[in-house]
Amino acid sequence: MLDLDAERLGRYKGVLTSGQLFESDGSGTMHFFGMRFKLHRDVFVPRAESRHLVEVVMQLGIFARRTLRILDVTLGVGNALLPLLQQHSTALGIGIDISQAAVSLAKENAKLHHLEERVVCEVGDLRELVASRREAYDVILANPPYSPDSAQRLRSYHQDLKQDASGSILVSIAQLHPLLAPGGKLVLQLPTGETQLCAQVLCKHGDFIVEAQTRNTLTLALKSREADGSRDYAFFELPNALRVVVGSDPKCDKAGAALTVNVGMCYERKDLPGLAHFLEHMLFTGTKKYPKEGEYHEFIKQNGGAANANTGCYTTNYMFQVKVEALADALDRFARFFSEPLLTKDCTDREINAVDSEFQAGVTNPFWRDIGILNMSANPDHPFHVACGNNKMLRDDPKEKGLDLYAEMLKFYDEFYSANGMTLCVIGKESVEELEAMIRERFSDIGNKGLSLPKGEAVSDQPPFLPKEWNRLLLQAPVKDVKSLKFSWVIPWQGPLWRSKPTAYASHLLGHEGAGSLTAVLKERGLIVSCVSSMGGWLEGAFSLLQVSFTLTEGSVHAVEEIGKCLFTYIGMLQVGLPLCTHSKGGG
């Protein structure tokens, strides 16, 4: 990597001539992810392969969150940050670059695409970010410039591994871990074939573990402190049957909580799609003790934190993080959403509009368009469906049917939000005993309705998908510059197998990029750019999914059969004999 100090004034000199520019159309602009970007000869622009960085972020589970904070520490012209903001209509972005020229150009590009209200572009130094910022981010992006001399890069990595301190860009990025929110991801674009060494540097100098790796990208998450013995854990159940896990960490610099309700959109009336998501929004409109609308989010923000929520098919999750001193007061506010919410009726129209805004953001998003196909393929006699909700579903259709949306929302809350269907996780600097006392005082008043919600095959005696609707090839006309091929399998619900995680093992093998792997063979043939294997995530509960997605090259759009034959041949090989180990201890 380039040395931060040595390149302070001329960060990009010598790199601009090394072929690391997108091809321009001759007008001083480039086209990337369907967006036009202004260029300048003094501003570094990463290689075209950096589209993979954007694709990796879009495939993260957290990218489906309603609110998202993204920090790009190598902003350049904004070619990574701005496409992500365009794809996620409610995300907020911060872009940092050491070059004033780059920041000025990124601002112009943001304005060009009407994103200037949701992004802040600033001149900044990587080494000073942790000291100067208190916000936490869900995604941190880094696409650092690098020397064209591979031998020089390798020497730099080895020096970083030997030293406890270094001024290299890679080490500076590693030290950004305090800015990552719980559950957040650091995603980097790196020189092809060097991610393994870079991962070792990042994990040595930062509090990270490798979560995913390709030949030119790394996805890292915060390391759990459980392994070094600095955290104590306890599980207990309250008298109302609410289950609780607490983690005591005297060294933690943030405290937080997450509560999962064992109910989601698949429990709502099918003639009121979006009801569960609408309730998730309405829950934050105030409580009896804290009736002022917006007081909760204001408190969280004033205490250096963030709050979020998401509605899945079979669960709804609410979470927050704050500075450690504010945990007790934050929990007091948080708990009352589940024991004494106001569900203020006057907020109905505003929250319907908020839900509609999220729906509109996904209309052209390839991820949500895939979900739409899955939804349309489902068996109508099975409860499974995916419904974010929008103005038509939540305002117009109920009126035509003579239904009172607000009354139905209250009924849904009263029927399904039960303490025995909730699980709470809390982490703070207090002792386990202190955390337990704090929780018992605040969460024991949540009502227990004795609710029993089945999972897996017990959800319905009907299959979620019928063979005639599932076993087929579906063609989708993209609305963005996307060339992809996805294979999906519906498999029995994997929840009970959480200890052994067979689908995680299978997913790792299918997405492996080593010599002789499926990905390596297809890349050698020039058929794919990348391969990602994944599971169903928040869609699961009655069933599980195993998916293999390929980003295709320009010439392979019509090579579906050849790619499919390679995939199923590889699966056949795995069925004959599984490799004992394909994953090194250092991550990869």
Q: Which residues are catalytic?
A: 280
Cα atoms found within 13 Å of the Cα of residue 346, Cβ hemisphere only: 5
Tokens at residue 97, please? 């670059």
Tokens at residue 40, please? 């300048």
Nearest to 258 by CA among 341, 149, 362, 182: 182
- Contact 259/424 with Cβ under 8 angstroms? yes
Q: What is the dihedral of CA 283, 288, 290, 295, to 10 degrees?
A: 30
Which residues are CB-contacts of 367 (< 8 A; sequence separation ≥ 6)? Answer: 58, 59, 63, 64
Distances from the Cα of 173 to the Cα of 85, 220, 226, 254, 477, angstroms: 22, 12, 24, 20, 39
Tokens 């994103």 locate to 115
d(CA 38, CA 105): 7
Query: Is residue 49 classed as helix, strand or coil in its secondary structure?
Result: helix
- Backbone φ/ψ region at 389: left (φ over 0), alpha (ψ -120 to 50), beta: left
Over the range 109-139, which residues count as b (16 or more CB within 10 Å of their CB) and which as e?
A: bbebbebeebbebeebebeebeeebeebbbb
Number of H helices, E strands in the chain: 20, 18
Nearest to 404 by CA among 392, 391, 390, 394: 394
In this structure, the number of other CB atoms found within 10 A of the CB of residue 239 comes to 9
d(CA 45, CA 128): 23
